[in-house]
Amino acid sequence: MSPRSHRRLARCASLLLVLAGGALAAQAAWIPAKAALAQVLLDRAFDQSLATGQPVRPWPWADTAPLSRITVGRLGESAIVLSGASGQALAFGPTELAAPRGVTLLAAHRDTHFAFMADLRAGDILTLQRLDGGTARYAVRQFQTVRWDRFAISRNLPGEWLVLATCYPFDGATRGPLRQVAWAERVE
């Protein structure tokens, strides 16, 4: 092989490596960019839902819509709560699950929208704003670590409760059977 052919081959190989690196960088940036855009669209859909009193889908093909907004004042955290407990909905925010009367049960991933649960403390105030514009405030009363298949909410629980559930331990690298549950009682 001539020196000229060597140089040409080296240039082609270099170009291919640069293109492959660029493709990998673009792929790595895609998920965070998509997540950031989704949050903007969810905030906009929540604002539109507040204005109309009806759930507005954040994008035309979404299988979910905003139901409420949860805010943890002390931690400066806020998230749009979505309808439906599908894996797709959970990828974009907390979802509301079926629960007994007087209980609002929310679930989200430990490493995204409910990452704040690692810093939540008894006494923290959680605010839930509904689509009708009404808000309810809840004080965190207790925490429970329980296997997912042993978690239950009594149908005779007095008062109104907001229950947050996420996977545990918070720094776990794989799925596990444990869930961290925060119980917050309505104070207003």
Please say if the pLDDT value at position 29 is more than 70: no
- In angstroms, the Cα distances linking 45 to 21, 60, 80, 82, 88 are 36, 11, 10, 11, 17
pTM: 0.81
- pLDDT-derived band at 31 (thresholds 50, 70, 90) equals low
Torsion of CA 9, 12, 15, 20, to 10 degrees: -100
Residue 11: predicted pLDDT: 83
What distance in Å separates the CA atoms of residue 105 and residue 127, rounded to the nearest whole number? Answer: 14
Residue 1: predicted pLDDT: 72
Higher pLDDT, 1 or 176: 176
Residue 44: predicted pLDDT: 95
**Average pLDDT, integer, range 45-73:** 93
**Average pLDDT, integer, range 149-163:** 87
**Average pLDDT, integer, range 134-138:** 96
Summarised one tens digit per residue, pLDDT across range 104-135 is 999 988 887 888 999 999 999 999 999 998 99
Please say if the pLDDT value at position 27 is more than 90: no
**Amino acid (1-letter code) at residue 119:** D
Other Cβ atoms closer than 10 A to 13: 10
